[in-house]
Amino acid sequence: MLPRSRSAYSRGSFAIETLRMMHVLPSVLLSLLALRAQAANIVSTNDDGWAEINIRTLYNALTKAGHSVVLSAPAENESGTGSAEATPSTVTNGCEFSSCPAGSPATGSNSSDTRLNYVNSYPVTSVKYGVQKFAPNFFSGNPDIVVSGPNVGANLGSTVQISGTVGAASAASNQLGIPAIAFSGTTGSQTAWDVATPDYSTLYADLSVNLTNTLLASGTPYLPNGTYLNVNFPSAGSGTSCTAAADFKFVLSRILSTSGTTVSTCGSDTLPTETSVVDTDGCYVSVSVGDASTKNDATADQQSVVLQKLESILSCLP
């Protein structure tokens, strides 16, 4: 028998490769579909202002992760305004960091990226505008989740009552029925969006995306009805021992030391407080389940649901 020609070998190889690809392709497509299924519509807000670098860094990180994000945050720094609300008004002196001129309208957007929006009012008003007025321009329905922050400075314990970052997250859940996470970071100061991004800001954004993606991957409902997550990052970046995202560990915690019954985990019947988690050496992040109506701790049953949803990234204190 004469040897087959090169073209015959090529045709045979092509046939084998085609069969192999027909076998592999479905699993590849399923993987891609799974990734696509986890991509979410997100409204991003804060209380430090729409032009503060933490919220812009998180916006970029969430977008890079494949999510569709609409930012809606106060025109100016509104830290410490809790759950206050007010009808937006004309921007008298201009937005923070000269991000919009004096006399600008009560609400507005970035000329080159209309997903970046300001509201000249409080954080709660901003998140409501984001969900009800801005998001419909980009989403076919309500956002899947609201992320607030990362705040400049921690929001631990009873501080949640006056935090605008927490106020926006709790309002999203309690008033709008949308699951929400409030992120806060110990390191940093008010910084404009248009300077070199500090390393702590990048770390907090990456960690926020990690937790958000884990929650989204757990399936709907993402959180128990009427709850929110209060997440606090420890000191991070230059001058600290926490300089890479891999250094950090998430720990389920409680907001108040006076909380009653909590879920049992890590060999204890009582969750550690947020402050004790963040103050522990070793880059620990506190993750508390809050009641959106009171802002204080949710029930043990609700904590248990979140424990199961986030178990793949949760750790115990040493």
Residue 18 falls inside a structural domain:
no
Residue 24 falls inside a structural domain:
no
**Tell me, what DSSP letter sits at residue 131?**
I
Catalytic annotation, pick one of 121, 148, 170, 184: 184
Residue 19 falls inside a structural domain:
no
Average pLDDT over residues 87-114: 98
Residue 318 falls inside a structural domain:
no
Q: Report residue 12 as tokens.
A: 């045979």
- CATH code of the domain covering residue 180: 3.40.1210.10
Spatial contact of 203 and 237, defined as CB atoms under 8 Å apart:
yes
Q: What is the pLDDT of residues 171-194, one digit of tens each?
A: 999 999 999 999 999 999 999 999
Residue 36 has pLDDT above 90, yes or no: no
CA–CA gap between residue 190 and residue 289 (Å, rounded): 27
Q: What is the pLDDT of residues 222-276, one digit of tens each?
A: 999 999 999 999 999 999 999 999 999 999 999 999 988 899 999 999 999 999 9
Average pLDDT over residues 132-157: 97
Residue 140 falls inside a structural domain:
yes
Residue 10 has pLDDT above 50, yes or no: no
Collapsing DSSP to helix, strand or coil, 202 comes out as helix
Residue 147 falls inside a structural domain:
yes
Residue 26 falls inside a structural domain:
no
> Is 184 designated active site?
yes
Average pLDDT over residues 137-147: 96
Q: Report residue 110 as tokens.
A: 């970035």
Q: Report residue 202 as tokens.
A: 């990048």
Task: Give the range of the structural domain holding residue 190, as residue numbers without chain letter.
Answer: 41-310
Q: How many domains does the chain contain in total? A: 1
Tell me the residue type at 152. V
Residue 264 falls inside a structural domain:
yes
